[in-house]
Amino acid sequence: MASVEKERSVLVLFGNIINEVVSFFVFCLLDLLDAVLCYVFKVADFVIEAEWRPCYCSSSAKGRIKDVAGDGGQIVVSERSECKVVRLSSGKLMMEEVSDTLYSRPSLVSEVSRSTVKRLKVMNRPTATAVSSSYRKSKAWRPTRPTLFTVNSDILEMLQENISVGRPVPRWSDCACSHCTSWTSRGTNMLFVRAAGVKDDNKAPEDVLFIHGFISSSQFWSGTLFPNFSESAKATYRFLAIDLLGFGRSPKPRDSLYTLKEHLEMIEKSVLEPNKVKSFHIVAHSLGCILALALAVKHPESVRSLTLLAPPYYEVPKGAQAPQYVMRKLAPRKVWPPMAFGGSLLCWYEHITRTICLVICKNHRLWESLAKLITRNRIREFMFDEFLCHTHSAAWHTLHNVICGAAAKLNSYLDAVNSRLKCRVTIFHGKDDEIIPVECSYNVQRRIRRASVKVIENKDHITIVVGRQKAFARELEEIWRRSTNNE
């Protein structure tokens, strides 16, 4: 028995070494490919759209933000020996809303080199006595002050352009079909909402707000849960499933940076206010859990229950940069397991992911027809709306500005839910989830002590709902009933 365990541990070690070596070479090649695609898209954008657009991987000199003012404020940037002032034409965007993972994504070679140099410096670091002695000998020595925020000057231009210029027309690399651009014909910038259940808001005692996850849409809920709610639930609740900004049939503005603040404001403007929602339950999946927590903290008296599915909450070690830490947890730059490889592509490579959107999302109708032909029309329609009807800008910015960028805020959100809200909090997680580990749900439970965690055997990130929609519909109805009756 001991020999078997020893052999297994040797095989695991050998497999990890192979994974590390293969991953290093694969991601070095991907770094190079992304750099090449950067110039390809710059030329294509200039030829097709007559504009040379900056990107987040630009390699020009870095500037340091010295001052950020309020509305109509300015950012003073120092570049080498000269200073530039970049003015923001609107107070719509606060700089702290923009995650540093957008522009601080070093190549694998540079990151390995930097970490190696850092370790060597730690090994050769002089003792405290030596430093003190050196200081006494030379008063020129001063402890360095940490840089709070560094940003590329091209990125400042991009942020300025995104704030001040509105472009309802999709980019050449995005899909322009009637489904993806239906928001332009509606003549409104409101989110698309699928409503079911009680139609009259005056007769519905409570509303239920469904928030989908990353690269998804409202059909994740309407195609699974809505048909499986009981007649009693349909006569009691009004179900409101939204397409988040940039996804499904909702607006996909080119001038948006898809920050947490923008997503919340759109939910309030498009769902809560026009539908006169005053008391509501929230059901959220993955990315939607972050928005659900922020919404609950903003409307603590209105939330009756909070149901979270696979919340992406990672406990950030003290002293670590929260956005960077979360990005590396989601995207470890490994070729195995496959989910880690896919997540690494999504997080690290701006132009490779734009190429994928160009090939797949722009031509989603073609892929949908081929899939229906191959499966003899047995594939569910919502699977295509869920994964393919978004723009690259929406997915890229939402991933970095919400999932990674909001990491530093989640502790305060969870603490506020624990102390200020009295609603029932229930967390569901698939045991086989390879995208968001089960530990994330238990991390939430440690912050919200009254939360209950239900781990579903043999289910993953998607099948936590898809495939068990009838059972999950019954579970939700029970949660809402008990919350209404204060049980």
Name the residues annotated as catalytic: 212, 286, 433, 461
Three-state secondary-structure class, residue 378: coil
> Rounded to whole angstroms, what are the CA distances from 465 to 273, 399, 475?
29, 22, 11
Nearest to 447 by CA among 302, 251, 314, 254: 314
Q: Are 389 and 217 in contact (CB under 8 A)?
A: yes
The H-assigned helical ranges of 143-204 are 153-164, 182-186
Query: Structure tokens of 419?
Result: 């102390």
Tell me the β-bridge partners of 196.
Answer: 239
487 DSSP assignment:
-
Nearest to 209 by CA among 144, 157, 280, 105: 280
- What angle is formed at CA 304 by the lines to CA 299 and CA 309, rounded to 5 degrees? 95
**What ranges make up the beta strands (E) of 21-138?**
62-68, 74-79, 82-87
The DSSP element (H or E) to which 5 belongs, if any, is helix 2-49
Three-state secondary-structure class, residue 81: coil
Tell me the β-bridge partners of 305.
Answer: 281, 424
Other CB atoms closer than 10 Å to residue 55's CB: what's the count? 18
257 DSSP assignment:
-
Distance of CA 299 to the CA centre of its chain: 22
**What's the rounded Cα separation, in Å, for the pair 295 and 290?**
9
End-to-end CA distance of the chain: 51
96 DSSP assignment:
G
> Rounded to whole angstroms, what are the CA distances from 49 to 46, 166, 170, 173, 463?
6, 15, 11, 11, 41
390 DSSP assignment:
B
**What's the rounded Cα separation, in Å, for the pair 337 and 340?**
5
Length of the chain counted residue by residue: 487
> Rounded to whole angstroms, what are the CA distances from 147 to 73, 77, 107?
21, 13, 21
172 DSSP assignment:
T
